[in-house]
Structure 1
Amino acid sequence: MMLQGLIDTVCNDPAIADAIEQARAGVPALDIAGPPATRAFITSGLVRRAGRPLLVVTSTFREAESLVDELSSLLGDEEVAYYPAWETLPHERLSPNSDTVGHRLEVLRRIAGKDDLPAPSVVVAPIRSVLQPQVRGLADLPVVKLRTAEDYDPSRLEADLVAAAYSRVDLVERRGEFAVRGGIVDIFAPTYSHPVRVDFFGDTIEDLRFFTVGDQRSTDETVDEFVAAPCRELLITPEVQQRAAALVDAHPELSEMLEKISQGQSVEGMEALIPALADGVELLVDVMAPETLTLVCDPELVRTRAADLVRTSQEFLHASWAAAAAGGKAPIDLAASSYQELADVRQHSLDIGQGWWSLSAFAAAPDSAPQGEDPTGESASAGESVSAADAAFAGGIPEMILDMEPLPGWRGDAEKAIATMTDDLARGWRVVSSVEGKGLANRMAEMLRDHDTPARVLDELPDEPELHVVSIILSGLRHGFRAPDLKLTLVAAGDITNQPNADRSSRKMPTKRRNQVVPLELKPGDPLVHEQHGVGRFVEMTQRTVAGATREYMVIEYAASKRGQPGDRLYVPMDQLDQVTRYVGGEAPALDKMGGAEWKHRKSRARKAVRQVAAGLIKLYAARQASRGHAFSPDTPWQHEMEDAFRYEETPDQLACITDVKHDMEQIVPMDRLICGDVGYGKTEIAVRAAFKAVQDGKQVAVLVPTTLLVQQHYQTFAERYSGFPVTVAQLSRFQTEKEVATTLEEMAQGKVDVVIGTHRLLSSKVHYKDLGLVIIDEEQRFGVEHKEALKKLRVNVDVLSMSATPIPRTLEMAVTGIREMSTITTPPEERHPVLTFAGPYDEGQVVAAIRREMAREGQVFLVHNRVASIDRVAARIREMVPEARVVTAHGQMSEKTLEKVMVDFWERRADVLVCTTIVEAGLDIPTANTLIVDRADHMGLSQMHQLRGRVGRSRERGYAYFLYPGDRTLTTTAHDRLAALAANNELGAGMAIAMKDLEIRGAGNLLGDEQSGHIADVGFDLYLRLVGEAVAEFKGDGPGEEEKPMRIELPVNAHLPEDYVESERLRLEMYKRIAEVTSTDDIEALRGELQDRYGPVPEQAESLLTVAAFRLLCRQAGLTEVMSQGRSIRFAPIAGRRAPDGTELSLPDSRRVRLDRLYPGTLVKNAANLALVPAPRTAKVGGQPIIGDELIAWASGFVRDILLPDAPRRQGTAGNTAGDTVGATAGAAAG
């Protein structure tokens, strides 16, 4: 949005105009004092009128990001750049995130004028970025540039990506990875929000298209050019390799790391060796233009922050590297990459001719700077020599004070804000109101007009704001100010709501991820469940060629049928993989015997239990359908305005959820919907919208949450989202005085409160509503039995919306559709950093370093110590070791009030370290707490440790988890294995999937009743869910009651995924499983498209695999369970007593027998064995060879359609019919 008129108006202030003149004249130092809200304007004025490039320095990255937002609103995105700092410390044995590196390199390339991009006028950087030396010449690092229709040798591309520090994987899931599959290369570059798929034809790039990480499918978005920036700032060049090789002998303690580097391998944390391996270092001020003017915001805060950073960096240098050298000296002088002292950076900047100004929130008193200090935040000890530049400030730095004042902050009281604007307008002032989003702008205009104050919503403001009318603009400005000299008032959204701006990283919500690609990683020995034979162990995948046809099999080992013999082995063809699931459900299970009775017994027991559950669900459903409630009206214009003011982009899942909820509310049958989605996936916004809809119909809303901390979190969200609308939100919790509670209760009964948020207090008999219309329950499973009973009574004729962060398995959600209405939000953020996990002996130095590192990046720490008796002692020791940290303790034996006060303090960042017991594992969301230290981890179970680890790394910050045990004791084997598993599985892969399953089992228990857990352990979780689905379908009359028999198709067809087409075993398994589980020809077509998209043109063997899958559908439609080669015949069984999938009985009447004899002479029907042996087709009647492959499948499909489904062509839309037609067509084409 063009806001030049507003910039010009503010810059007409005499003090700012004078400052701009001084900048033009090259004055090296100046301190400007004024409200923080004026900084974006001062900066914009200097850019526009003084024409100098600016470097703006803030004390924290949050301030830097919010300033970038404000400046982008004023100057436009292309003029402003944010230069992030590493999230790791210079001497940490960890490498910075590839996306941080990518963004840094992109900014440096722009400053250097590379890539035909304009240099930014303003670079905003947190002090961390300014103090940290970086490798010299980063802007010159080579990038990989790809353009469509140009030639680029794929093997050279692979080498170039490796040189740019990309890692080769089989499935691209995060930034800095690439995968090669035939003529397709997938690359996830650090500066893009999606990975790109490069499609080659020979050496020519045919297509560059984006794809989503979740389902690995291409989107419609293509690009003509793609630039892959390097993923590290220290790249392994021949020079770096030589230097590393030269250091190997001199430093045996680092030999392993140096050897790998000398061989060309990137090593985690090798950036710590930059001083020894790179061609020198430089500072950010060195790469900025010589005429750059540096503006330091809040110099006092910057100075404190800089001192903390320098100290922490020194401690890490000692903690990480002292151990690596005998005698405790750093083995190589690595100090060159430590954070530099602020005074040195400033002096260096002045020495190279740049300016160094400061922007303070208040003016310093004339005598306030202690000896040797000046207001820019630098210090020189007494007697130290003072440079010429400093001498110029000997009389103190020239200071300018703006005649501007911050606004009072109306804390959600829009009436007062409007009164101020109306009064100022009447006094002849110019009044501007800035909001985010068109909906809020229209709402603000409407409210002002209701107070007879003229207002106009403007798309841009190229000239001075008008008099006598409030100008409403759309911008990211967060706070306003009043300027009496200019007679100008600027009111921004943050002044009214008092809420901080949205975090930039979360503003772009992630893309839809529906069918998640979950590679099936099986290690030899992993327990599996086969539906017919029970629990076995995975051995391997193997290929076998029988009768000229090659197929792939999974080998599963079972308990030996005879004592002392090796285990029995089962070879499962890949088209029967739908019979096999991974076993999840408890400790390592005992192996079953193949075809043993014990498995059948356990399975029937589970099936019986499941039928009871299904019957209960159906009963509930019927009762609800019979009751009557309030049908809410369609959305009002206010509803649209409130929704438009949402500052994030909704995810497709969220939109679908909101539509479901509104549809339910508009029905006369009371809503009872459950919404599942992890913390931070946007469930609260759905509640906000549903509640607002209810209030629009004059109904009251009760929001029930399990803890007081959540009352606070939700109250803030609701109050902020409803600011500007006549909706009253109140809270009921322990943090209120008796008087406040009494007032709220009275206002609820009178109908003055529209939305009340509280804990289980809302269920007490003292609470009366005037007209309750909607109850929203957060984390229902955390309420006790008596509260659940009270909720049941409420449910009869009031709409209920429940929310849960415990994931519900997708299969279960499908099974209970239409009984318990559910919506799932499964869209996680596109980029999730794995939590870096360390397991090792307890070491105080490491603990101190970890706490200080987290504090250095403005974060918080959880320290879990699971013994209440000694928890205070541990907290006291932490206070001793890290005196600057604010330490609090929390455990379950505290009174609830004390505990909740501690938790709220921690949430509101009034404490840095929370020493607590495992109470933090339950759904706590504190995005700024990203380091977890667990003491005595040897006493914990694996899933509990996974749960704890899930508390950190929830925002885009990288999470650290330390699992520590006493160094002086030996670990038990189990504890050792658990810790090893945890450290190995910090990726979101198999180990995480098990923890995820553990949670899903809880989710299923919450939904179906906890007594089901024994049955889950009996048959394994996945099979259990399938049984639930079958039972529910049977009760609803959608399918047969008995168990579906497995299908065996064993014909000589070359049907498999060639290894050179899908190289990775885990991805082959995933694809086989999905092909085995298809239920319609649409599924098959979708998979064919996916194979082509992900792996290139589909080879013949894979086409045959899809043809067999379509044939299986046709056989299922005809009620067959076996089609096999038997000598010179093909065996089809059963013939009599077949059932179609919908339960219809199929037989073979005489008319069909006649047709069978006519069309397939020589067929033998064995009634006793219930099968037909049909002579196998041959290439010629006499002396012909047997037909194999797709032609054979086409012939078998013809037999099924002619004899077993004779009326198929006349029946429209059955899966079997369409499947058969597809098979015939595909096979015919292949045969032809």
Structure 2
Amino acid sequence: RALADQLPGVSEMLTKVAEGIAVEGMESLAPALVDGMESVLDALPEGAVVLVVDPERVRRRAHDLVATSEEFLEASWANAAAGNHVPVDLQSLLGSASYWSMAEVRAHAEATGRAWWTLTPFVADTDLVIEDDDVDERIAVRTTDPEAFRGDTERTVEHLRERVRDGWAVAVVTEGPGLAKRVAEVLRENEVAVQALDTSRDDTLTAGTVHVTTAPLGRGFVHEAGRIEVLTETDLTGQPGSGTSTKDMRRMPSRRRNQVDPLQLRPGDHVVHEQHGVGRFVEMMQRTVAGATREYLVIEYAPSKRGQPGDRLFVPTDQLDQVTKYVGGEEPTLNKMGGSDWSKTKSRAKRYVKQIAADLIRLYSARQATKGHAFAPDSPWQRELEEAFAYVETPDQLVSIDEVKADMEKQVPMDRLICGDVGYGKTEIAVRAAFKAIQDGKQVAVLVPTTLLVSQHQQTFAERYAQFPVKVASLSRFQSDKEAKDVMAGMADGTIDLVIGTHRLLAKDAKFKDLGLVIIDEEQRFGVEHKELLKTMRTAVDVLSMSATPIPRTLEMAVTGIREMSTLATPPEERHPVLTFVGAYDEKQITAAIRRELLREGQVFFVHNKVSSIEKAAGRLRELVPEARIATAHGQMGEHRLEQVVEDFWEKRFDVLVCTTIVETGLDISNANTLIVERSDVLGLSQLHQLRGRVGRGRERAYAYFLYPPEKPMTETAHDRLRTIASNTDLGSGMAVAMKDLEIRGAGNLLGGEQSGHIQGVGFDLYVRLIGEAVADFRGDAVDLPAEIKIELPVDAHLPHDYVPGERLRLEAYKKLATVETFEAVDEIEAELRDRYGAPPKPVENLLEVARLRVVARQARIGDIGVQGKVVRFGPVKELRDSQQLRLMRLYPGTIVKEALGTILVPAPMTARVGGKPLRDVEVLTWARQLISAVLLDDIASAGAAAATASSGSARSAVGAP
């Protein structure tokens, strides 16, 4: 925690580590945080064998890591500390806690008696010889590389048919289940013997069969003597796989984060409670009332009497769905608990959103009434294109692709927003949607905000469509007048299938013969005029929009269902969060960062956002790092020159690209993994986030340095922006950045004055929810659910501090449990808790049962369940049918129904008929759940269970009304 104060650039990471939360990238802080590093060998189980694959490469990587970590850490600490003060004794730390060399690891393995095997492709590797003759044993296995099929399906099938006929055992190993399934289908269609291989059951290869399985295998081999062949995804397609195992695929959905985490709360943050209004978060605390311990969120409101301290509200953690973090412009005024000001503010906002809802419904109705083109189901070529994708699709991508295709196959024009962070695979969805449209004889327009992005997309689309008769063209200022005229002619006569361009595509003279789909990339970057033109397009053709940081208006429409929305929340496997450092400009650190990247043969973006002095900045870097090949790029260069520089950087002819923010959107160079922004204090928040998205797109760990001049004072807004970018480093933080941007800039800048005023009053989250309710009202599908569900039963339900140690983690778990709507969701949370923290203790089991009771209460529209003397109160209850009343009296004798108050008073359940004690914890929760299900939800199975419970004597309701 002390280090967190001294190192603002990594304070968020240090704070999380202090709370016991594992953070991606924390290994970089190891020398400052531990007394000595533990060898990975010491963590292996007894008798485990060490197998080093490709020892030369491993040795080189280990050497690079040791060599660069010292230089990098010294520069980082020296710069990050205030006034260049070094907060740790680097020399002693780097000696005891730094990484080991390969030789040291080998020596440690021998000293601890571990078997050490190496698997090398080289016949002689002198470094591997071990002195002791009795230990040194080599086994030579003669293998050759398999044939490269490069996506040629016919040749692959013919080859495998021959192998099966000749009695070979063949295994086809793919990265993900999608391709494995497709390979098996193709082989069956061509009558080649094929079966699935279950690696978890130690299945063996049998001769005369092709075995298909999934595993993260890089290369295949042919073993002639043993008549065995293993083919990988790379051998079949010519493209390397992504390294995602099936085990990882199963695990991936559980790693998703909520897009907006309203409970990333610190004491002093403003929150909105749906019933009581805007308050200030104080703390989380446990209270024991009537022998039952629960955890509460403490919220402070304005004092009800002048001169008195503020009133406090204790919100049980099972009601966290009522609380959201306040997002708005300026500092809000605290409401009074029980006062009329909150209800007035909320009513005003509700009246205003009704008008917005009416406008949105009008737009929606116009689209629904328009007859669009219903695209045909997928063609064989579509399947071929999708098989050629070089990576494993994330579960979110697969769902989004299916949603887009389903929309396209409907008669109503599509209007879908794909919302996913930078590098989450939005482009691949666009590639597949466009191909589907082209297969139906329609043309596609891809609209992008910058000319650089035009070139990038043209390359991507052209590469993906290379094997098919599809003509891709572009329209931007990179072209001569003649080239542009030729493209326009091709669009008009239908010879061009897909055109990628900037707003030039929206000009009056840009005409299409038969436009079927418009794809808009980074929609939030287009101006109001362009948006109006797009709006007229929307009712006529299918529209697919993509955005990493959606603007509030877009969010509003997506949240309310006016536009369909697909979310990509799962990062591609092998992606790491970008390690982000914020600090004063320091040449020593810049030199170390660039050299570190060059050592691992990577590339660097250096952002200097002033064209007049960009060459001077490049010259300074050439002096600091003379071995680096440096180029410059900015928007005032000639079109062809700029295109050439970016292409050269893409082709790795340069190591460092000194550029303006022209690279902000869409450049996808997976080898560039270090970003240095020289004057980050003058850039906007979404710009900083987009710039950071340019690195970390490959498998290597990426670094982003946001620097500011130490001698110049920084504005409060700039400080807030840099603090936000430093703290939102997790994968998928684009939505959180969009929310914070709204908070820093104030809603008025984005939404106009009147709307801003209403958001200021109730906070953005609640405002969007109110719009959703108003739209549902207009459509007639509003559901009258209870505003909140209060459960006050004798239950000890909380997450003990020794079970879930960090407050942030407890809040996250409470929030999930408060918002569940199905039993399956509760079961998933229980499985996750078991996986992360072990078997749940009694209070946690009770907490899960409270969540299950909330599910049935919500279904029955019950908002209040609590003990009242010797009875349990259920309400509000609408008029019961005769059959329900009879069942209630039969199963729960002595029950009183108060129709005027809309409540049912049921005798409290006891442990025994005579001398029993009131039921507690899981037993009373199960009893309440059975009652609601059996009586109010007409669940026959629950009625049977309730009857059995009643007749058993234990847990029987006390007979007779109080």
The aligned residue for residue 361 of structure 2 is 618
Could you tell me the percent identity over the aligned residues?
A: 53
In the alignment, structure 2 segments of 5+ residues that lack a partner are 1-24, 71-84, 111-115, 132-145, 167-211, 221-232, 957-962
Shift of 1:716: 1.7
- Asked if 1:441 corresponds to 2:153, the answer is yes
Instruction: Summarize the Cα distance change of 1:102–1:771 in structure 2 as closer, same or farther, 3 Å threshold.
Output: farther
- Asked if 1:1049 corresponds to 2:795, the answer is no
Match of 2:295 among 552, 559, 573: 552
Instruction: Summarize the Cα distance change of 1:915–1:832 in structure 2 as closer, same or farther, 3 Å threshold.
Output: same
| Secondary structure at the counterpart of residue 1046 of structure 1 | coil
- What is the alpha-carbon distance in structure 2 between the residues aligned to residue 612 and residue 1095 of structure 1? 48
Match of 1:804 among 547, 554, 563: 547
Shift of 1:908: 5.0
The aligned residue for residue 68 of structure 1 is none
- Asked if 1:761 corresponds to 2:761, the answer is no
- What is the alpha-carbon distance in structure 1 between the residues aligned to residue 128 and residue 876 of structure 2? 87
- What is the alpha-carbon distance in structure 2 between the residues aligned to residue 770 and residue 1108 of structure 1? 60
The aligned residue for residue 865 of structure 2 is 1123
Give CA-to-partner distance per residue, 1:920-963, whole Å, 9 cap, x none.
Answer: 44454433332232334455666664554443333222222333
Give runs of aligned pairs for residues 771-790 of structure 1, distance below 5 A: 771-790=514-533
Instruction: Summarize the Cα distance change of 1:667–1:514 in structure 2 as closer, same or farther, 3 Å threshold.
Output: farther
The aligned residue for residue 256 of structure 1 is 89
Give runs of aligned pairs for residues 338-349 of structure 1, distance below 5 A: none
Whichever residue aligns with residue 745 of structure 1, its letter is M
- What is the alpha-carbon distance in structure 1 between the residues aligned to residue 569 and residue 597 of structure 2? 30
- What is the alpha-carbon distance in structure 1 between the residues aligned to residue 723 and residue 884 of structure 2? 68
Instruction: Summarize the Cα distance change of 1:915–1:564 in structure 2 as closer, same or farther, 3 Å threshold.
Output: farther
In the alignment, structure 1 segments of 5+ residues that lack a partner are 1-87, 136-231, 234-251, 296-345, 353-431, 447-454, 464-473, 479-492, 1139-1145
Contact 2:909 2:919 in 1 (8 A): yes
Match of 2:495 among 752, 755, 766: 752
- What is the alpha-carbon distance in structure 2 between the residues aligned to residue 260 and residue 783 of structure 1? 51
Contact 1:836 1:986 in 2 (8 A): no
Whichever residue aligns with residue 724 of structure 1, its letter is Q
Give CA-to-partner distance per residue, 1:775-795, whole Å, 9 cap, x none.
Answer: 333223323333333333433
Whichever residue aligns with residue 441 of structure 1, its letter is T
Whichever residue aligns with residue 706 of structure 1, its letter is P
Instruction: Summarize the Cα distance change of 1:433–1:1124 in structure 2 as closer, same or farther, 3 Å threshold.
Output: closer
Deviates more, 1:512-521 or 1:743-752: 512-521
- What is the alpha-carbon distance in structure 2 between the residues aligned to residue 1228 and residue 870 of structure 1? 88
Shift of 1:828: 0.4
Whichever residue aligns with residue 513 of structure 1, its letter is P
Whichever residue aligns with residue 253 of structure 2, its letter is R
Shift of 1:712: 1.7
Contact 1:749 1:770 in 2 (8 A): yes
- What is the alpha-carbon distance in structure 1 between the residues aligned to residue 737 and residue 948 of structure 2? 45
| Secondary structure at the counterpart of residue 995 of structure 1 | helix
Shift of 1:1154: 13
- Asked if 1:700 corresponds to 2:443, the answer is yes
Contact 2:66 2:100 in 1 (8 A): no
- What is the alpha-carbon distance in structure 2 between the residues aligned to residue 835 and residue 697 of structure 1? 41
Match of 1:516 among 256, 259, 271: 256
- What is the alpha-carbon distance in structure 2 between the residues aligned to residue 607 and residue 545 of structure 1? 38
- What is the alpha-carbon distance in structure 2 between the residues aligned to residue 919 and residue 280 of structure 1? 50
- What is the alpha-carbon distance in structure 1 between the residues aligned to residue 91 and residue 392 of structure 2? 46
Whichever residue aligns with residue 772 of structure 1, its letter is L
Instruction: Summarize the Cα distance change of 1:828–1:1002 in structure 2 as closer, same or farther, 3 Å threshold.
Output: farther
The aligned residue for residue 414 of structure 2 is 671
Shift of 1:717: 2.0
- What is the alpha-carbon distance in structure 1 between the residues aligned to residue 40 and residue 828 of structure 2? 40
- What is the alpha-carbon distance in structure 2 between the residues aligned to residue 714 and residue 1121 of structure 1? 52
The aligned residue for residue 564 of structure 2 is 821
The aligned residue for residue 850 of structure 2 is 1108
Contact 2:891 2:946 in 1 (8 A): no
Contact 2:394 2:572 in 1 (8 A): no
Match of 2:704 among 949, 952, 961: 961
Give runs of aligned pairs for residues 565-714 of structure 1, distance below 5 A: 565-586=308-329, 588-714=331-457
The aligned residue for residue 732 of structure 1 is 475
Instruction: Summarize the Cα distance change of 1:1087–1:895 in structure 2 as closer, same or farther, 3 Å threshold.
Output: same
Deviates more, 1:1044-1053 or 1:971-980: 971-980
Contact 2:933 2:942 in 1 (8 A): no
Instruction: Summarize the Cα distance change of 1:1076–1:690 in structure 2 as closer, same or farther, 3 Å threshold.
Output: closer
Whichever residue aligns with residue 307 of structure 2, its letter is G
- Count of residues in correspondence between the two structures: 821
Whichever residue aligns with residue 848 of structure 2, its letter is L
| Secondary structure at the counterpart of residue 603 of structure 1 | helix
Instruction: Summarize the Cα distance change of 1:732–1:952 in structure 2 as closer, same or farther, 3 Å threshold.
Output: same
Contact 2:582 2:707 in 1 (8 A): yes
Give CA-to-partner distance per residue, 1:1032-1053, whole Å, 9 cap, x none.
Answer: 3323322247x84323222222
Give runs of aligned pairs for residues 1009-1048 of structure 1, distance below 5 A: 1015-1040=758-783, 1044-1048=786-790
Give CA-to-partner distance per residue, 1:697-748, whole Å, 9 cap, x none.
Answer: 3333332222222222222222222223222222223223333333333333
Contact 2:786 2:861 in 1 (8 A): no
| Secondary structure at the counterpart of residue 1079 of structure 1 | coil
Give CA-to-partner distance per residue, 1:878-931, whole Å, 9 cap, x none.
Answer: 344444545455556778787666655555545443444555444544333322
- What is the alpha-carbon distance in structure 2 between the residues aligned to residue 123 and residue 529 of structure 1? 57
Instruction: Summarize the Cα distance change of 1:1198–1:462 in structure 2 as closer, same or farther, 3 Å threshold.
Output: closer
- What is the alpha-carbon distance in structure 1 between the residues aligned to residue 637 and residue 566 of structure 2? 37
Instruction: Summarize the Cα distance change of 1:1026–1:836 in structure 2 as closer, same or farther, 3 Å threshold.
Output: same
| Secondary structure at the counterpart of residue 280 of structure 2 | strand
Whichever residue aligns with residue 783 of structure 1, its letter is F
Contact 1:585 1:1016 in 2 (8 A): yes
Shift of 1:619: 2.4
Higher relative contact order (CA 8 A, sep 6+): 2
Instruction: Summarize the Cα distance change of 1:1155–1:576 in structure 2 as closer, same or farther, 3 Å threshold.
Output: closer
Contact 1:715 1:731 in 2 (8 A): yes
Shift of 1:458: 7.0
Instruction: Summarize the Cα distance change of 1:1092–1:928 in structure 2 as closer, same or farther, 3 Å threshold.
Output: closer
The aligned residue for residue 672 of structure 2 is 929
- What is the alpha-carbon distance in structure 2 between the residues aligned to residue 900 and residue 963 of structure 1? 26
The aligned residue for residue 81 of structure 2 is none
Contact 2:884 2:936 in 1 (8 A): no
Instruction: Summarize the Cα distance change of 1:931–1:732 in structure 2 as closer, same or farther, 3 Å threshold.
Output: same
Instruction: Summarize the Cα distance change of 1:911–1:803 in structure 2 as closer, same or farther, 3 Å threshold.
Output: same
The aligned residue for residue 513 of structure 2 is 770
Whichever residue aligns with residue 256 of structure 1, its letter is D
Give CA-to-partner distance per residue, 1:968-1018, whole Å, 9 cap, x none.
Answer: 4566787667656765x3752999874264379999999x97775554443
- What is the alpha-carbon distance in structure 2 between the residues aligned to residue 672 and residue 1107 of structure 1? 41
Give CA-to-partner distance per residue, 1:18-46, whole Å, 9 cap, x none.
Answer: xxxxxxxxxxxxxxxxxxxxxxxxxxxxx
Match of 1:1087 among 829, 851, 858: 829
Match of 1:995 among 737, 754, 758: 737
TM-score scaled by structure 1?
0.56
Shift of 1:1148: 8.5
- Higher gyration radius (CA): 1
Instruction: Summarize the Cα distance change of 1:708–1:580 in structure 2 as closer, same or farther, 3 Å threshold.
Output: same
- What is the alpha-carbon distance in structure 2 between the residues aligned to residue 687 and residue 1127 of structure 1? 62
Cα RMSD between the aligned structures? 5.6
- Asked if 1:563 corresponds to 2:306, the answer is yes
| Secondary structure at the counterpart of residue 576 of structure 2 | coil
The aligned residue for residue 812 of structure 2 is 1070
- What is the alpha-carbon distance in structure 1 between the residues aligned to residue 887 and residue 560 of structure 2? 45
Give runs of aligned pairs for residues 124-139 of structure 1, distance below 5 A: 125=57, 129=61
Instruction: Summarize the Cα distance change of 1:1225–1:709 in structure 2 as closer, same or farther, 3 Å threshold.
Output: farther
Shift of 1:1190: 4.4
- What is the alpha-carbon distance in structure 1 between the residues aligned to residue 833 and residue 892 of structure 2? 38
The aligned residue for residue 362 of structure 1 is none
